[in-house]
Amino acid sequence: MWLFKKKNTKDILSKELDYSLINELSNTMKEILDNELKCGNKIKEIYKGRFTNIPDDSIFIFLEYPFKAEIKNDLESVVYRNINDRHYWKAEYNDTVNNQTIVCPFEK
């Protein structure tokens, strides 16, 4: 079962990352991502599209490791959630205004 609705299998299996989508992130989400990368985390996947009932223009960035930077809970329009569901991911930052999400996995 695929979480994301993509047009064909080639899109699903593509290993190339579309780094241009980072330019579309809000400033707050760019700061969160930048902090993670400075702490040694890596981007595993970047995706723009529909996810269940979320709009088609949503941006998802999947990190390689659990969040390494200090967790921020006091950001305007960005919510940190500890999802803790192995079917999905460990935690996420979600920009509720711009439909942007940065997620991290559980430890490997």
**Residue 21, SS3?**
helix
* C-beta separation of 45 from 54 below 8 A: no
For residue 23, give both structure tokens: 């330019």
Going residue by residue through the chain, which has 108 residues, state the pLDDT in tens, using 9 for 90 and above: 233 344 433 444 345 788 899 999 999 999 999 999 999 999 999 988 766 666 678 899 999 999 999 999 899 899 999 999 888 899 999 999 999 999 999 987
Check residue 82 and give its pLDDT: 95
Check residue 71 and give its pLDDT: 94
Domain map (residue ranges) of the chain: 17-104
Check residue 85 and give its pLDDT: 87
Check residue 9 and give its pLDDT: 33
Q: How far apart are CA 106 and CA 28, in angstroms?
A: 23
DSSP character string of 46-97? EEES-BTTB-TT-EEEEESSS--SPP----TTEEEE----TTS-SEEEEETT
